[in-house]
Amino acid sequence: AGKSDHQPGERSVDFPVSVVLPAGGTGERTGLQTPKQFCSFLGRPLISYTIQAFERVSWIQSIVVVVAKENVDLMTDIIQRFQHRKVRVVPGGSTRHRSICNGVLALGEGEEAAADRPKVVIIHDAVRPFVEEDFLYKIARAAKEQGAAGAIRPLVSTVIATTSEGYLDHSLERAKYRASEMPQGFTYDVIYEAYQRCSESDFEFGTECLHLALQYCGTNAKLIQGPPTLWKVTYKRDLAAAESIIKETLSQSACAVTGGSTQAVTLADALQKAVGALDMELDVIPDLMGENARYLLKEWNFIQVSVNRSCLSELEALLTDLEAANRALLHPLVVIWVHLSASDELSISERMAEPATIMDLAAAAKLRNILLYGIQLHQSKDTERWERSVLKVAEITSALIRERSPALVGQLLQA
């Protein structure tokens, strides 16, 4: 939470910027049926993460997603389902360059007057979802100043030239070369002219937009080294890496709601310290009233601390609030009910009733993309035993939030 914030104006740009997102790839290299951009991560297709990365940048005015004709309906559904704004879907061409060209043309046409055309067009891959605002800013500024700009990365492997018989011919001097990555940025005029002037052969076989800008507009692109996060989801292993990054981002912080009781606050404070050691930030609040309603709006996970049996109504109220705030739209949200039994002598009927109730609540919450788990611990006057219990709650909490396992919802775990 908070990571995607930025100081308004500080890094803003004073010219209109739009994005073209070619998303026509077929995903051969992952070995999967579904093209990578439509592969689901925590219930949401990868391309929606990429769109979100642009959408949250205030100075980007519109996004054109270019997909194969047969995927236009699918893409339109994705945009509606995840309530994306600023986005238009355009059918692609038979090659990458034809698709990008369609996207660029779409930015210049329609009711929009020439004055509304973007000054700068950023072109990015749908399968590079972790691009950050800082870097987009650098590309947009350099594109405005130089006409064209592109991301580069150091080469990871030595590049070698091969003979036609499959033997080593020579190896390149690594320091002179770079890998060309995305995003790239162009003034609208440069990218528009480049596509107007380029040949059929360029449309068919060309790979680099930067190269067209150089060849047809005489524009030397400024190359800017990007962070490793620009990486492209290419192979099957990259799907796991992407899921892990997404999960890590969602697991950085949680908010413990105590209801204000002394025992609950004491437990929450101890938990705060224990999860802190596990690299999770925990805020402790009495309820979600007033100022604290802001916790409903950001990417927090929730821990409802309850003492004895006063609890399930608080938990139900929390679930209602989260649903009202539409908080689980973009990814499953984790809610953990931590139940502190003040006495070891809980009546049998109390012990038996809760598991079934939590299971039912969890089944209903899951339909709304909320993953509910329970953890039970007992108050103890033995300090060592108490500390062990608290540590165990912290470990279980951290594991549940990080793993976000749908199969384990509704379980009442013992600490």
In whole angstroms, the minimum distance from the beta carbon of 235 to its own copies comes to 5
Is residue 133 involved in binding Mg ion (CB under 5 A)?
A: yes
Kindly state the number of chain residues that form the binding site for its own copies, as judged by CB under 8 A: 67
By CB under 8 A, tell whether 238 contacts its own copies: yes
Q: Is 414 near its own copies (CB under 8 A)? A: yes
Q: Identify the sign of the CA torsion 106, 111, 114, 116.
A: negative
Residue 137 Cβ vs Mg ion, minimum distance, rounded to whole Å: 10
Cβ proximity to its own copies: between 208 and 316 the closer is: 208
Q: Which of 46, 208, 213 is nearest to 120 (CA)?
A: 213
Which of 159, 329 has the CB closer to its own copies? 159
Rounded distance between C-alpha atoms, residue 398 and residue 251, angstroms: 8
> What values do phi and psi take at 80, rounded to 5?
-70, -45
Contact window for its own copies (CB under 8 A) among 99-107, 131-139, 256-264, 402-410: 402-410
Q: What are the φ and ψ backbone dihedral angles of 359, each rounded to 5 degrees?
A: -60, -45
Cα 47 from Cα 179, distance rounded (Å)? 23
Pick from 260, 259, 258: nearest CA to 268: 258
Answer for which of 3, 15, 56, 154 binds Mg ion (CB under 5 A) is 56
Tell which residue, 210, 145, 214, has the closest CA to residue 180.
Answer: 210
Q: State how beta strands 281-285 and 253-257 pair.
A: parallel
Outline where DSSP puts E strands in 23-109: 40-41, 44-45, 60-67, 87-91
Task: From the list its own copies, Mg ion, none, pick the one residue 398 interacts with, judged by a Cβ distance below 5 to 8 Å according to partner type.
Answer: its own copies
Select 37 or 71, whichever has its Cβ closest to its own copies.
37
CB 82 within 8 A of CB 330: yes
Q: Which is nearer to its own copies, 160 or 329 (CB)?
A: 160
Both tokens assigned to 160: 């070698």
**Contact call for residue 89 and its own copies (CB under 8 A):** no
Q: Which member of 6, 29, 247, 366 binds Mg ion (CB under 5 A)?
A: 6
Residues 377, 385 contacting (CB under 8 angstroms) = no
Per CB under 8 A, 366 contacts its own copies: no
Burial class (CB in 10 A: 0-12, 13-18, 19+), 343: exposed
Does residue 218 interact with its own copies by CB under 8 A? no
Please check whether residue 42 is in contact with residue 88, taking contact to mean a CB–CB distance below 8 angstroms: no
The least distance separating its own copies from the CB of residue 143, rounded to whole angstroms, comes to 13
> Which of Mg ion, its own copies, none binds 56 (CB below 5-8 Å, type-dependent)?
Mg ion
- Per-residue x/- mask for its own copies, residues 190 to 209, rule CB under 8 A? -----------------xx-
**Does residue number 162 form part of the binding site for its own copies (CB under 8 A)?**
yes
Place of tokens 């279980």: 396
Q: Min. distance of Cβ 275 from its own copies in angstroms? A: 12
Radius of gyration of the chain (CA): 26
Contact flag: residue 263 with its own copies (CB under 8 A): no
By CB under 8 A, is residue 29 in contact with its own copies?
yes
Candidates 60-68, 77-85, 91-99, 215-223; binding stretch for its own copies (CB under 8 A):
215-223
Cβ distance to its own copies smaller for residue 196 or 347: 347
**Which is closer to Mg ion, CB of 133 or CB of 181?**
133
Contact 313, 284 (CB under 8 A): no
The answer to whether 190 touches 214, Cβ cutoff 8 Å, is: no
Residue 187 and residue 78: Cα distance in Å, rounded? Answer: 29
- Look at residues 5, 118, 128 and name the one whose alpha carbon lies nearest to residue 57: 5
Residue 98 binding partner per list its own copies, Mg ion, none, with a CB distance cut-off of 5 to 8 Å that depends on partner kind: none
> Contact residues for its own copies (CB under 8 A)?
29, 150, 152-153, 155-163, 166-168, 171-172, 174, 176-181, 207-208, 210-211, 214, 220-224, 228, 231-232, 234-238, 240-245, 348, 355, 359, 392, 395-396, 398-399, 403, 405-408, 410-414
